[in-house]
Amino acid sequence: MTLAIETSQLSRSFGDFRAVDGIDLRVERGTFYGFLGPNGAGKSTTIKMLTGLLAPSNGEMRVLGYNMADRVESIEAKKRLGVIPEDLALFDNLTAREYLTFVGRMYLVPRETIRTRIDELLAILGLEAEEKKLAMEYSHGMKKKLALAAALLSNPDLLFLDEPFEGVDAVTSRVIRDLLAGFVARGSTVFLTSHVLEIVERLCTHVGIIVKGKLVEQSSLEELRQSSSLETRFLEMAGAGLDGEASHKLPWLEGVGR
Amino acid sequence: MNIEHLRAFIWLRWRLFVNQLTRGRTANLIVFGILGVLAIPSIVSLFIGAFVIGYVAMPESDPTVHLLVWDGLALGFLFMWSIGILQELQRSEGMSLSKFLHLPVSVAGVFVLNYFSTLLSLSLVIFVPTMTGLVVGMTLSMDSMYLVALFPILAFFFAVTALTYHFQGWLASMMVNPRRRRTVIVMITLVFVFFAQAPSLIHVIQPWRGALEDLGEKLAKDQKDLDAEFGAGKVTAIQHTEKVQESIRKRTSESNGQGKKLWSQVEEVAWVANLAVPIGWMPLGAAWCAEGNPLPAILATLVLTGIGAASLWRSYRTTLRMYLGEFTAGDSVSNPPPTKSVAPLDPADKVTLIEKQIPGLSEYATVVALVTFRSIIRAPETKMLLLSPIIMLGIFGTMMFRGPMYMPDMVRPLVFVGVMAIALLTAWQLVANQFSLDRAAFRAYVLCPAPRREILLGKNLAVAPIVAVLALPMVALAQIAFPMRIDHLAAFLFQFVSMLAIFAMVANVCSILAPIPMAQGTLKPASTHFLPTVIQLGLFMLHAGFQSVVLLPIGIEILLAHFASIEGWPIALPLSIVECGVLVLIYRWTLGWQGDWLMTREQRILEEVTAKTQ
Ligand SMILES: Nc1ncnc2c1ncn2[C@@H]1O[C@H](COP(=O)(O)OP(=O)(O)OP(=O)(O)O)[C@@H](O)[C@H]1O
Ligand SMILES: [Mg+2]
């Protein structure tokens, strides 16, 4: 069985700036992979490359065994992917139901199946009452949920989720966590980024940490937790190094008045 | 609000402007540099030009001429100013007050600053020097009293800008809801288009025609009668000449009389109209100044200043109320009550548009076509584009029905090709920049596993019915005015498909090669890059050249009729059918490589069209 994701020396530059700098990812099938890193570390850029939204400047990548640089193979891979990209991929002028129908048909899901799945997805994500609104009228969190519904609709083998919990309410967040856990338990793979370490700790089986474009850690969560907690490890890696001293660095921020 | 705030604000405006320039490429900088260098001399020359006219030409003229000159200037300014407002509305985010209100400055301060920053506009840069130049010129040549006319002019600018500022604020409160926002933009543009049509209507009606155009006709008729008299030998040559001169004198004075009557009518209407509309009091005041009476000018100044001040005040109150949350412009967005009755899963249930099947098309092409069509029809900015041929219809219609125009049978099909050209011209933006129209949506296409040629095919097919609907009213009109031979009409159907195929081929290349990012919810480029713009223009012209191919069948028929005297045979029809078949085959072939090409370029295109702007 091939790996779900495998990259070698994957890099991407914007001008002179190396946003992603030679990373080697290895993600087994059936794992729940948490991709962590501070703001601007290169997480979204990596996901964009892995899903074919952005061309890498260097390096190779295989997704579900398909070479993403190859035109024919990348289409094959895309048939089996579900993605929430960084800025989503919604149509402003379509309603939720229209959009989901479109997505379902693009993955050649039969019409009746599409209808059933849309009803179920909208219901479970709490969007039933909003299905007649246009995507542009959706709130931030509603858009995220709609994007998740679209990513799940074709029942993919591999899910790429760029901050799926950001902006989503607590109830839905719980629902999504359950959904994803079940999804992985049945042998599919999830690759997600998140800034909420508690969620990652609770859900993920494997973790990768990227800092300034370089992969500085990649292991199973268990291994990582043997030495210390995820948060401690992350802060170490991300080089915060302030150890609760942040407030001393801005002494003028203390006290009332000026 | 203090001087520090003012400086920060001005700096911010400047920074935004500079960033916008430097974000673009060097070509942009050069263009703007040239414009900037040209601006000052043009302002100066506007002033000098107006000054000379005021000094030399104006003093001699009659008060109504003064009035009309000022009316013209006022209308010109209003026209340009409203175009500016329209553009401002299209911009997704201007310098909205809400961005500053959390800062420790007073609402009033931000409000006033924001108002002043709306005054930095091209219309004012053009019209203020012109009007001032005119006044100064007249003052020097006539009477120092004329300088008073400056006051109503300044008050006029104040009133107009304050009124529109108020209007914009009101609109902003209407447009908090994004769907309504777009509808409002469309409505305003339509109203504007309607007013812009007014001059052409007047031109069609031509109220002055009766009075002025008859002179030549009457003279010619007299001449003919007199010639006949002379020819019959009833009068001598000298008598004849005298009579001709007599007729010219008589007719001219008659016509002059009519001209005078018309002029006095114009005078009456102009003065009354100016009196009726407060904005017209500026020209009134200025015209009275020329007569040496400053009183109306002073009155006009007072009234216009009052209007301006009241608008600003009301606008300020609206702003305050809006930010205090007491504002209720229109209804609030009402959530539909959550209906539990989710669409039943009955297979006999109504099939929605997006679920439809199109026979003979792949699932991919079908759904892309349906979704694209839905988006175009629903998005107000494209809907608006589709309304623009109404203007063309007006012009076209008046052209055809103005006078009896002779058009040989053979040439008539050309009219139809011209009509199609207009429809395609309108649709050009929809295809030539098809990946930018719904920015984030293109990401969905890149992510999806559909063969790219099917995406192109679907997107092209979505535009076909739109072109048909655009062309249909004009075709019908043309068919009424210049009925085509039946076989030519049939040939036109095939020409329609041929033209669409050519159009799609070229526009696809354009969309893949030179995507231009659009500001969200508008048809305005978010940033102007030199190269893509040039490519778009170039391909557009090339496209027009390619389209001339569809003239071949009818051209051959005309040539055969002319040189070989083969007439009355339906030659163009079979040729059009063959041509159409060939073009459709070529289109299918190009779709293949265009699809491959799109696949290799799609990531670049995505980067272009989703490039963050401002
Ligand atoms: N289109 C672009 N042009 C220039 N620089 C870019 C572009 N996209 C990303 N970058 C840069 O690449 C770096 C990585 O960005 P990326 O979006 O991948 O970060 P991230 O890890 O997802 O951060 P966050 O947690 O804030 O989402 C950043 O420094 C960003 O400025
Ligand atoms: Mg990110």
List the beta bridge partners of residue A12: A20
Residue B265 lies in a domain: no
**Is pLDDT of B414 > 70?**
yes
The pick from A21, A45, A214 for probing ligand 1's pocket by mutation, whose C-beta has the most ligand atoms within 8 angstroms, reads A45
Q: Which of A90, A91, A116 should one mutate to test binding to chain B, selecting the residue with the greatest count of B CBs within 10 A? A: A91
**Is pLDDT of B275 > 90?**
no
- Answer for the pair B558, B408: CB distance below 8 angstroms, yes or no: no
Query: What is the rounded average pLDDT for all residues in chain B?
Result: 79
Residue B242 lies in a domain: no
Model confidence pLDDT, tens digit, residues B294-305? 888 888 899 899
Query: B458 and B606 share a domain?
Result: yes
Nearest chain A alpha carbon to B602: A53
Query: Phi and psi (nearest 5°) for A145?
Result: -65, -40
Nearest chain A alpha carbon to B377: A93
Q: Which of A71, A93, A105 sits opposite B438 (nearest CB)?
A: A93
Task: Report which protein residue has its CA nearest ligand 1's atom 19.
Answer: A40
Mean pLDDT of B163-186: 74
Query: B427 and B520 share a domain?
Result: yes
Give the least confident one: A26-30, B208-212, B269-273, B490-494: B208-212
CB contact under 8 A, A115 and B342: no
Give me the pLDDT at residue B479, please. Answer: 81
Taking the CA of residue A182 and the nearest CA in chain B, the distance in Å comes to 24
Mean pLDDT of B341-347: 45
Task: Report which protein residue has its CA nearest ligand 1's atom 2.
Answer: A14
Q: Which of B374, B438, B447 sits opposite A98 (nearest CB)?
A: B374
CB contact under 8 A, B443 and A51: no
CB contact under 8 A, B603 and A53: yes
DSSP string, B293-304: --HHHHHHHHHH
Model confidence pLDDT, tens digit, residues B354-373? 888 889 899 999 999 999 99
Residue B60 lies in a domain: yes
Query: B433 and B290 share a domain?
Result: no
**Is pLDDT of B384 > 80?**
no
**Is pLDDT of B463 > 90?**
yes
Query: What is the rounded average pLDDT for all residues in chain A?
Result: 90
Give me the pLDDT at residue B405, please. Answer: 61
CB contact under 8 A, A129 and B336: yes
Question: Using CA atoms, how far apart are residues A234 and A240, in angstroms rounded to an integer?
Answer: 9
Question: Using CA atoms, how far apart are residues B7 and B65, in angstroms rounded to an integer?
Answer: 45
Query: B315 and B432 share a domain?
Result: no
Query: B462 and B589 share a domain?
Result: yes
Give the least confident one: A95-109, B88-102, B190-204, B287-301: B88-102
Band (B451; pLDDT cuts 50, 70, 90): very high
Band (B7; pLDDT cuts 50, 70, 90): confident
Query: Where is mean pLDDT largest: A240-249, B390-399, B577-586?
Result: B577-586
Top-confidence residue, B367 or B148: B367
Is B447 touching A (CB cutoff 8 A)?
yes
Give me the pLDDT at residue A215, please. Answer: 94
Residue B218 lies in a domain: no
**Is pLDDT of B548 > 80?**
yes
Give me the pLDDT at residue B473, please. Answer: 81
Task: Report which protein residue has its CA nearest ligand 1's atom 10.
Answer: A19
Question: Using CA atoms, how far apart are residues A63 and A24, in angstroms rounded to an integer?
Answer: 13
Query: Where is mean pLDDT largest: B239-253, B381-395, B551-565, B593-607?
Result: B593-607
Give the least confident one: B11-15, B138-142, B442-446, B556-560: B11-15
Is B242 touching A (CB cutoff 8 A)?
no
Model confidence pLDDT, tens digit, residues A68-111? 988 889 999 999 999 999 989 998 889 999 999 999 999 999 99
Pocket of ligand 1 (CB under 6 A): A 14, 19, 37, 39-45
Is A87 touching B (CB cutoff 8 A)?
yes
Is A235 touching B (CB cutoff 8 A)?
no
CA distances from B345 to A104, A116, B296 (A): 16, 7, 75
A 137-176: CB under 8 A from B:
137
CB contact under 8 A, B179 and A137: yes
Taking the CA of residue B177 and the nearest CA in chain A, the distance in Å comes to 8
Query: Phi and psi (nearest 5°) for B569?
Result: -90, 140
Distance of CA B500 to the CA centre of its chain: 25
Query: B52 and B188 share a domain?
Result: yes
Residue B250 lies in a domain: no
Residue B24 lies in a domain: yes
Helices (H) and strands (E) in chain B, counts: 21, 0
Q: How many domains does chain B contain in total? A: 2
Report ipTM for this prediction: 0.88
**Is pLDDT of B335 > 50?**
no
**Pairing of the two strands A81-84 and A158-162:** parallel
Is B175 touching A (CB cutoff 8 A)?
no
Mean pLDDT of B255-279: 77
Query: B112 and B195 share a domain?
Result: yes
How many inter-chain contacts (A to B, CB under 8 Å) are there? Answer: 129
Chain A residues touching B606 at Cβ < 8 A: 53-54
Question: What ligand 1 atom has the least distance to the C-alpha of A42?
Answer: 18
Is B564 touching A (CB cutoff 8 A)?
no
Mean pLDDT of B91-107: 60
- Answer for the pair A53, B603: CB distance below 8 angstroms, yes or no: yes
Structure-block tokens of residue B244: 């001709």
Query: B200 and B293 share a domain?
Result: yes
Query: B306 and B362 share a domain?
Result: no
- Answer for the pair B378, A93: CB distance below 8 angstroms, yes or no: yes
CA distances from B594 to B78, B361, B603 (A): 47, 18, 15
Query: B83 and B20 share a domain?
Result: yes
Is A76 touching B (CB cutoff 8 A)?
yes
Query: B297 and B415 share a domain?
Result: no
Residue B551 has a CB neighbour count (10 Å cut-off) of: 15
Task: Report which protein residue has its CA nearest ligand 1's atom 17.
Answer: A44
Question: What ligand 1 atom has the least distance to the C-alpha of A45?
Answer: 18
Task: Report which protein residue has its CA nearest ligand 1's atom 6.
Answer: A14
Summarize chain A as % helix, strand, coil (round to 5): 40, 25, 35
Residue B261 lies in a domain: no
The rounded Å distance from CA A41 to ligand 1 centre is 7
- Nearest 5°: the CA angle A51, A55, A56 is 100
The pLDDT > 70 percentage for chain B reads 79
Nearest ligand to the C-alpha of residue A213?
Answer: 1
Question: Using CA atoms, how far apart are residues A99 and A104, in angstroms rounded to an integer?
Answer: 9
B 260-319: CB under 8 A from A:
none
Residue B162 belongs to domain spanning: 3-208+276-323
Residue B37 lies in a domain: yes
Nearest to B369 by CA among B464, B501, B442, B433: B464
Is B438 touching A (CB cutoff 8 A)?
yes
Is B444 touching A (CB cutoff 8 A)?
yes
Mean pLDDT of A152-171: 93
**Is pLDDT of B374 > 50?**
yes
The model's pTM? 0.73
DSSP string, B243-304: HHHHHHHHHHHHHHHHHHHHHHHHHHHHHHHHHHSGGGHHHHHHHHHHTT--HHHHHHHHHH
Question: Using CA atoms, how far apart are residues A83 and B229, in angstroms rounded to an integer?
Answer: 95
> How many CA atoms lie within 13 Å of A52's alpha carbon, on the beta-carbon side?
32
Query: B19 and B127 share a domain?
Result: yes
B527 three-class SS: coil
